[in-house]
């Protein structure tokens, strides 16, 4: 691993030096505000195998992330910090008769002891935990990660694309969520078809997932492994802890699962966009989600877009194993004296409804949104595609517990587009979250208000800086004490070459 560590750093430094001296008229890649990568330049076609590799393109990225988390009341939680330094190197071959390949090597290190948590305190780290692997620190003392997170072959024919291997798949349920050091990726197969006018149809079959703080691929759903280690399987912050290796085994069920995604997007009607997504972990849980957005033209260049999203979750056996609560406190391995505020202990049937209004004009975007979860089971979605994302979700918040209602207002302004401050944009979001106090015994947090601020500055071509601030003010718990108020600070640098 030490050799891999040195080789990864050397490769990125060498490629950076070569790129720095090259004449670049157009960035090969750019970053959206959510850090999703947009490829502006792709390899051109090849006529033979030699050209397929010779005409391939390397995409480099150097990045740094720093985190500071300050709890209001240290009697309940420990303040924490984290720091990550590293980057990635992605190589795409030129397509030969429609066939191509992509490989992405990612690296992250926390080299400075003074900027990271102590080894014994890694379980306390919140937002910055994705700069290192908790499992690797615990077992080997390693604060670095090196992983081939993308490695797939691709075949394009007409307007259809097939991929097989380790890949990013951006959908309603699954996202790369690449806001730290290494993206969330999946292993399996996917297809995208655009054969029908103004219609995109996609499907995916994934048999493994690699979360951002992991160096190996693991089950898409199971919490903990055969040894009971909670950091060596799906340990996402939104994972259902009752759907554990021990509970699946005790129920005589398979501990290895598949994730199936299918979605359709259509824009046949002018100004109207319709999306439908189906997701399933067979014999455990499934869901179907519909979303409609309609853009209305107003005067002076303004547009108003009302949008609604509805998600219906169906229990296909997971509730009897893990229980209704994501905390796992109602699972088959627990002995609660009550249902901890849930109406049906062993049911994961649930639904989530939300609506929004988006006003846009030039550099300005204003959003107001509302979401409500039915008083049934919690929503299961540990694949970084947040169910309330784009509507009411605030940074570091999970507002899809049963009987949760959230109201959000957001303003985004691109000062660069307005020709006021070159390369600068800002976002301010305020969310009011109304959780169900009766469910606090099951791990649900207290009502809270969240102020979230993003400031982004393009320093030079390919070089971006971003500051993120989250201020959470929460009520005391029913049992007493302010356990949920905090201030969170993040600083990020990205250089694409």
Res 113: pLDDT: 96
Comparing CA positions, the residue from 184, 177, 174, 179 lying closest to residue 150 is 184
Other C-beta atoms within 10 Å of 409: how many? 14
Size of the chain in residues? 497
User: Collapsing DSSP states into helix, strand and coil, what is residue 40?
Assistant: coil
| Residue 494: both structure tokens together | 């990205």
Other C-beta atoms within 10 Å of 217: how many? 19
pLDDT tens digit at each of 497 positions of the chain: 333 343 343 333 333 333 333 334 678 999 998 888 999 999 999 999 999 999 999 999 999 999 999 999 999 999 999 999 999 999 999 999 999 999 999 999 999 999 999 999 999 999 999 999 999 999 999 999 999 999 999 999 999 999 999 999 999 999 999 999 999 999 999 999 999 999 999 999 999 999 999 999 999 999 999 999 999 999 999 999 999 999 999 999 999 999 999 999 999 999 999 999 999 999 999 999 999 999 999 999 999 999 999 999 999 999 999 999 999 999 999 999 999 999 999 999 999 999 999 999 999 999 999 999 999 999 999 999 999 999 999 999 999 999 999 999 999 999 999 999 999 999 999 999 999 999 999 999 999 999 999 999 999 999 999 999 999 999 999 989 999 999 999 999 999 99
Distance between CA 186 and CA 259 in Å, rounded? 10
Res 8: pLDDT: 40
Q: State pTM to two decimals.
A: 0.92
Distance between CA 199 and CA 153 in Å, rounded? 24
Within 84-232, residue ranges assigned H as helices are: 134-140
Distance between CA 222 and CA 245 in Å, rounded? 6
User: Collapsing DSSP states into helix, strand and coil, what is residue 477?
Assistant: coil
Res 19: pLDDT: 37
Res 33: pLDDT: 87
| Residue 173: both structure tokens together | 């349920």
Contacts of 197 (CB under 8 A, 6+ apart): 268
| Residue 84: both structure tokens together | 């990550």
Report phi then psi at 439, rounded to 5.
-100, 10
Res 178: pLDDT: 96
DSSP β-bridge partners for residue 430: 409, 451
- Beta strands 57-71 and 80-92: pairing type? antiparallel
Res 272: pLDDT: 98
Within 345-412, residue ranges assigned H as helices are: none
Res 3: pLDDT: 34
Distance between CA 86 and CA 61 in Å, rounded? 8
Res 25: pLDDT: 61
Comparing CA positions, the residue from 140, 125, 138 lying closest to residue 84 is 125
Res 26: pLDDT: 75
Contacts of 300 (CB under 8 A, 6+ apart): 361
Other C-beta atoms within 10 Å of 60: how many? 23
Report phi then psi at 270, rounded to 5.
-55, 130
HSE of 118, CA atoms in CB hemisphere, 13 A: 4
């Amino acid at each position: 691993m030490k050799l891999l560590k040195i080789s990864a750093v050397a490769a990125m430094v060498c490629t950076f030096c070569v790129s720095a001296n090259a004449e670049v008229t157009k960035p090969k890649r750019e970053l959206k505000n959510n850090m999703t990568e947009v490829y502006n330049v792709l390899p051109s076609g090849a006529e033979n195998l030699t050209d397929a590799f010779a005409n391939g393109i390397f995409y480099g990225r150097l990045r740094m992330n720093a985190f500071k988390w300050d709890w209001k009341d240290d009697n309940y939680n420990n303040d924490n910090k984290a720091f990550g330094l590293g980057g990635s190197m992605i190589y795409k071959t030129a397509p030969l008769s429609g066939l191509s390949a992509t490989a992405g090597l990612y690296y992250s290190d926390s080299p400075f002891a003074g900027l990271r948590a102590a080894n014994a305190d890694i379980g306390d780290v919140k937002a910055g935990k994705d700069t290192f692997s908790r499992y690797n620190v615990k077992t080997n003392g390693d604060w670095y990660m090196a992983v081939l997170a993308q490695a797939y072959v691709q075949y394009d024919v007409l307007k259809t694309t097939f991929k097989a291997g380790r890949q990013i798949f951006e959908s309603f349920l699954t996202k790369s969520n690449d806001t730290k050091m290494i993206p969330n990726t999946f292993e399996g197969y996917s297809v995208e078809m655009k054969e029908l006018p103004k219609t995109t149809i996609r499907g995916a079959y994934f048999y493994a997932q690699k979360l951002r703080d992991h160096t190996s691929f693991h089950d898409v759903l199971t919490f903990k492994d055969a040894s009971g280690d909670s950091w060596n399987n799906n340990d996402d912050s939104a994972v259902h802890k009752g759907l554990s290796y021990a509970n699946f085994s005790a129920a005589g069920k398979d501990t290895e699962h598949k994730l199936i995604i299918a979605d359709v997007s259509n824009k046949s009607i002018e100004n109207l966009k319709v999306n439908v997504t189906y997701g399933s972990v067979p014999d455990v849980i499934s869901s179907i989600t519909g979303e409609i957005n309609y853009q209305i033209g107003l005067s002076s260049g303004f547009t108003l877009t009302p949008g609604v999203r509805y998600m219906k979750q169906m229990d296909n056996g997971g509730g009897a194993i893990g229980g209704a609560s994501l905390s796992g406190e109602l699972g088959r391995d627990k002995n609660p004296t009550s249902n901890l505020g849930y109406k049906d202990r062993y049911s994961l049937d649930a639904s989530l409804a939300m609506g929004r209004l988006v006003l846009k004009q030039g550099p300005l975007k204003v959003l107001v949104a509302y979401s409500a979860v039915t008083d049934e089971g919690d929503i299961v979605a540990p694949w970084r595609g947040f169910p309330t994302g784009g509507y009411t979700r605030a940074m570091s918040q999970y507002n899809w517990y049963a009987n949760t209602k959230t109201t959000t207002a957001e303003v985004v302004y691109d000062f660069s587009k307005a020709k006021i401050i070159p390369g600068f944009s800002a976002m301010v979001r305020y969310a009011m979250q109304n959780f169900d106090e009766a469910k606090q015994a099951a791990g649900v947090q207290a009502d809270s208000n969240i102020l979230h601020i993003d400031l982004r500055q393009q320093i030079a071509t390919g070089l971006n800086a971003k500051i993120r601030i989250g201020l959470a003010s929460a009520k005391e718990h029913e049992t007493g004490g302010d356990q949920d108020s905090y201030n969170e600070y993040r600083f990020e640098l990205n250089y694409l070459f």
